[in-house]
Amino acid sequence: MNFNDTLGQQLRLTIRDIADYPKPGIVFKDITPVLANPMLVNAITQVLVKHAEALRIDAIVAIEARGFIFGGMLAHTLNVPFVPVRKVGKLPYRTIAKEYDLEYGSATIEMHEDAIIKGWNVLIHDDLLATGGTAAAAGHLVQQAGGKVAGFSFLVNLSFLPGAEKLSGEFGVNPFYLVSF
């Protein structure tokens, strides 16, 4: 068993399932017990940094809100710009927006229009990959701004949903994650 497998096991044991949150039928993967363990946070950051280093990225695009936690640490450690992607109406300056489908209805995310320099290699980070709709929308915003999607990273992948296939199909890169449920 290598270091990443051991870390994956630790995450599996530490992430807390919350049944029927935020609505009936959803099992919410609560990462706050992970955040309460500094040694685990350190180990996760190291593995995410190693993945990002190999991609030679120019910026981290992180998705509100839980993506900001490790996204911030990644940007700091790699010494690259941190770019927030937020729900509609939350960013103060001029934005570009992308609407995407949810199971029922739709959602819109935004990024500042000047956040990405044309030609930048960008890593998109969030805590969890489910259907892939949010991460794909962030990827399309990066492309619209003239950036290249170099990769995606997550702590958790929900393998019973087609998020990983969606991202590799639309962007030609396999998403990286530390544990799959």
Report the catalytic residues: 66, 103
Q: Which of 115, 79, 77 lies closest to 96, judged by CA?
A: 115
Stretch that binds ligand AMP, among 6-14, 52-60, 79-87, 133-141 (CB under 6 A): 133-141
Stretch that binds ligand AMP, among 5-13, 23-31, 37-45, 86-94 (CB under 6 A): 23-31
CA distance 96 to 111: 6
- If the CB atoms of residues 18 and 117 are measured against ligand AMP, the closer one turns out to be 18
CA distance 51 to 32: 23
The residue from 51, 66, 98, 125 that contacts ligand AMP (CB under 6 A) is: 66
Contact flag: residue 98 with ligand AMP (CB under 6 A): no
Parallel/antiparallel/unpaired status of strands 59-63 and 95-101: unpaired
Q: Look up residue 137 and give its DSSP letter.
A: H
Positions that interact with ligand AMP (CB under 6 A): 26-29, 63, 66, 126-135, 163
